[in-house]
Amino acid sequence: MHISRRKILQLLSSAPLARVLGGWASAAADPLCSKLASDPLRPHYHLLPAHNWMNDPNGPIFYRGHYHMFYQYNPEAAIWGNMNWAHATSPDMIHWQHQSIAISPTPGGPDQDGVFSGSAVLENGRPTVIYTGVAPPDFPAHATLRDGRHVWRETQCMAVAQDENLRSWKKIPQPVIAAPPEGLKVTGFRDPCVWREGDRWMLILGSGTRDRGGMILLYTSRDLRNWTYLHPLIEGSPSGKDPANAVDSGDMWECPDFFPLGDKHVLLISTMGKVRWKVGSYERQRFTADNEGVVDWGSYYAAKTMLDRDGNRILWGWIPETRSETDLIAAGWAGVMSLPRVLSLSSENELQMKVASAANQLRRPMNIKSDNPTDHKKSLESLRIRGLAAELELQLDPQTGDSSVALGSDNGEPFATVIVKTKSNAHELRVNGVTAPLVGKPARPLHLQLFLDGSVLEVFVNSTTSLTARVYRIPTEPLRVKVDDGSKVQSFSAWQMTPISSNRLTSPLCH
């Protein structure tokens, strides 16, 4: 089940939720922390808040020796609503420390109903963010977001860091972009992405119209404060549908990200429940796509990139939950940040990704026993994964056109099955029934990499296909790995992964 950012809004007015919020407001921190820290479905080494709801990565930036990640956060409950920018810092993109909330809604201001997504840049060396603020429209015609329940006006707001640790921010009182271009009846107007181009700043916004489809709007400025609309960077095509939320039909493209990669440019957009990539040429401030695909076919949305300390293009994404809203409230937490992925292009201009090597420091060798060390399959099946925290890397040679890797307990209890089909009529990846077409020609051997962390399973095939699954099963025994008889295991590596904190909680709430 895909839960969009907006669909959960309907919960906000429910009586049961009000009772939950009231209970949490008066609850002591220690019982809550004990409950969360002992939850086996909570990840050990992915970034997530100590409790409550998180979604989109916002404004990731490397600044003065530290990585700063901001993200959408509800400090009051484990469901969407009351959007703030939470803040976490890291020396390596893996070990995170939660900081105080960076930016919150200002009563009576243009972001009074929520601090939505945006970007961070350095203006004369000072970190500056531009984000979308939402508030009730003064007039119905001013509304830019209609999702079937709420009617909001989206404007683009700005804040400037006041300290080197990026903990204090000063907002510019008025929006820097107050309305969509005149004459456009937009289906959305949000999620700015900003970059420097020569002596000017450039900015794009996710948008669309019912009669023209999804659209990315392009602006320019000399000072980050006064923006001039140019034209659409690129447009889609109308769906002909009229759902309450235009994102569901593809008539609204949200969370755009645009950047050079190799000798091409890449545009990321989020729509219809998936992050889509487009690779092409950027000339005369217009983008023409030559190739396109899906970043991740599983539970993955609202992707955002940054440059690391070495100049690599790093991709982040929100891993949503796929269980019921009732389960989210009962668990007390929702949402996970993906592991950092390094981006590159293949010779066919396909987007490639691999988990950043910084994650290697978490590896701890497993105790693998075998009578015949050269029998990789037998050695693999002798290992045991404990605590739902592991990385597996395999080279498989399919002898029958299909390969499968099953994770399950010794007693036969299933946990997850990864199937790679390389037959001519079914070239795909399947994880627990969720499928993804494999990019490119069938490759032999297959390179398969799995990152298991609590209820999160990130799967990569040949660096060009990824699928993030959510698995809400708690095995009664350590997991074992079994490869089907039709595949030859050419090589494999397996590691237990070290938690990034002693109790999976790094917030001051639990200290």
pLDDT string in tens for the chain (511-residue length): 444 444 434 443 333 333 333 333 333 467 888 889 899 999 999 999 989 999 999 999 999 999 999 999 999 999 999 999 999 999 999 999 999 999 999 999 999 999 999 999 999 999 999 999 999 999 999 999 998 888 999 999 999 999 999 999 999 999 999 999 999 999 999 999 999 999 999 999 999 999 999 999 999 999 999 999 999 999 999 999 999 999 999 999 999 999 999 999 999 999 999 999 999 999 999 999 999 999 999 999 999 999 999 999 999 999 999 999 999 999 999 999 999 999 999 999 999 999 999 999 999 988 775 555 567 888 888 899 999 999 999 999 887 778 999 999 989 899 999 999 987 777 899 999 999 999 877 667 899 999 999 999 999 999 999 999 999 999 999 999 999 988 889 989 999 999 998 877 765 445 4
On whether both 20 and 81 belong to a single domain, the answer is: yes
Q: Say yes or no: 383 and 347 in one domain.
A: no
Residue 317 CB-half CA count within 13 A: 32
Closest to 210 in 3D by CA, of 181, 247, 179? 247
Domain that residue 163 falls in? 7-355
State how far Cα 71 lies from the chain centre: 10
Residues 343 and 373 in one domain: no
Two structure tokens written together for 465: 């296909």
Q: What share of the chain is helix, strand, coil (3-state, %, to 5)?
A: 10, 50, 40
Q: Are 316 and 372 contained in the same domain? A: no
| 334 and 52 Cβ atoms separated by less than 8 Å | yes
Q: Are 342 and 356 in contact (CB under 8 A)?
A: yes
With the C-alpha atoms ordered 63, 69, 73, 76, is the resulting torsion angle positive or negative? negative
Query: Which stretches does DSSP call E strand in 75-199?
Result: 84-90, 97-98, 114-123, 126-135, 145-146, 151-161, 169-171, 190-197
Burial category of 394 from C-beta neighbours within 10 Å (exposed 0-12, middle 13-18, buried 19 and up): buried
**What does the alpha-carbon distance between residue 452 and residue 493 come to, in Å, rounded to a whole number?**
14
Q: Does residue 506 lie in a domain region?
A: no
Of 296, 320, 355, the one marking the end of a domain is: 355
196 and 80, same domain (yes or no)? yes
Is 360 domain-assigned? no
- Of 303, 334, 355, which residue sits at a domain end? 355
Asked if 159 and 77 sit in the same domain, the reply is yes
Q: Which two tokens stand for residue 179?
A: 């309305």
Residue 503 maps to a domain:
no
* CATH number where 204 lies: 2.115.10.20
Active site residue 138: no
> Based on the structure, what is the number of domains in the chain?
2
Backbone angles phi, psi at 71, to 5 degrees: -155, 160
Q: Are residues 299 and 341 in the same domain?
A: yes
508 assigned to some structural domain: no
Same domain, 395 and 310: no
Q: Can you say how many angstroms the Cα of residue 233 is from the centroid of all Cα atoms in its chain?
A: 23
Q: Which residues contact 178 (CB under 8 A, 6 or more apart)?
A: 155, 156
The CB density around residue 325, as the number of other CB atoms within 10 Å, is 21
Candidates 39, 56, 257, 371; catalytic one: 56
Letter string b/e over residues 273-304, b meaning 16 or more CB atoms within 10 A of that residue's CB? ebbbbbbbebeeeebeeebebbbbbbbbbbbb
- Domain membership flag for residue 216: yes
58 neighbors 72 (Cβ within 8 angstroms): yes
Same domain for 401 and 443, yes or no, is yes
Residue of 410, 415, 398, 419 whose CA lies nearest to 465:
419
- State whether 349 and 492 are in the same domain: no
**Domain end: 327, 355, 383, which one?**
355
pLDDT at 510: 54
- Both 177 and 275 in a single domain? yes
Contact yes or no for 116/108 (Cβ under 8 A): no
Residue 163 exposed, middle or buried by CB count within 10 Å (0-12, 13-18, 19+)? exposed
Question: Does residue 318 belong to any structural domain of this protein?
Answer: yes
C-alpha span between 441 and 462 (Å, rounded): 11
Q: Is residue 509 part of a domain?
A: no
CATH number at residue 416: 2.60.120.560
Per-residue tokens: 330: 């009962």
Report yes or no on 226 lying in a domain.
yes
If asked whether residues 477 and 382 sit together in one domain, one would say yes
- For residue 66 the two structure tokens come to 């530290």
Exposed/middle/buried for residue 165 (C-beta within 10 Å: 0-12, 13-18, 19+): middle
